[in-house]
Structure 1
């Protein structure tokens, strides 16, 4: 007797997901051990402005990785283009099976990528808060610029009828 499937189609790459989760957890643990060994002490508190900068930077970096046209080359081995999105964004779908499919699911999903980006930025913040703030400020400025581009486009379309 076979065990019931997790999903009806049998297409969820649970082994690939487990490998990705293990990679993330192992990377975080190795980073923490190395930082501890080198005497890096995490900040006792993170100011609210830094949390806002980190959050906005995670949002933008996740969308750049998972949706931007120019980063398609990173996703191409694991995804296929399905349609054009708004602005410079595109819609990709995972391809293949197993690990390839799991990575495709990860890199085409901004919500999924955000955990990895947050891990990198929070780790960076613990080691070099000033440098990380600068990177986060740049990504936050890019987010603001995107919203201004959308507002400008909306205003032009509204006046043109």
Structure 2
């Protein structure tokens, strides 16, 4: 190895070590490295990249963004987002989606499970995302909204299915509560 290559290699190693020290100082005292901050950054970047692609596709296809979204669509998509985020984050039937990123804690009922994220880094971050109905809600609401711009009829149809199931779920709970009272 020439002297120049040795200096370049040393310089690259030195720069990498210096970058690591800067990152360490920035995050020092935050959480002793327990939170997968780099993975969170990647997920936030993916979320924003999808949004940017949506905006570019909307512009490129000549679809204008709605000036405002009708109240009935907000209610429909809100109820559907509630149901779908709960379905993805808690239901036993969707546990196969979460299994690579979570570990089973207990089965609350035949239809609901309690899980916690497992692993580290990206695996853990995905586990936290898919077990949090509030976190999933943000992603699902975004996709429903993108769908409303590109394929409004299909989006409303899919959202209607989840909204109907939500109403049905609440009726079941009311019926159960009234039956237990009698």
| Structure (1 or 2) with the greater helix fraction | 2
1:70 aligns with 2:93: yes
Counterpart secondary structure, 1:112? helix
Count of residue correspondences: 158
- The answer for the alignment partner of 2:121 in structure 1 is 98
Instruction: Please list, as runs of the form range in 1=range in 2, the aligned pairs for 1:9-158 lying within 5 A after superposition.
Output: 10-85=33-108, 88-158=111-181
Structure with max Cα Rg: 2
Structure 2 gap ranges (5+): 1-20
8 A Cα contact 2:58 2:65, kept in partner: no
Structure 1 gap ranges (5+): none
TM-score (norm 2): 0.81
Counterpart secondary structure, 1:145? helix
TM-score (norm 1): 0.91
Deviations 1:26-74 (A, max 9, x none): 1111121122101111222211111100111111111111111110000
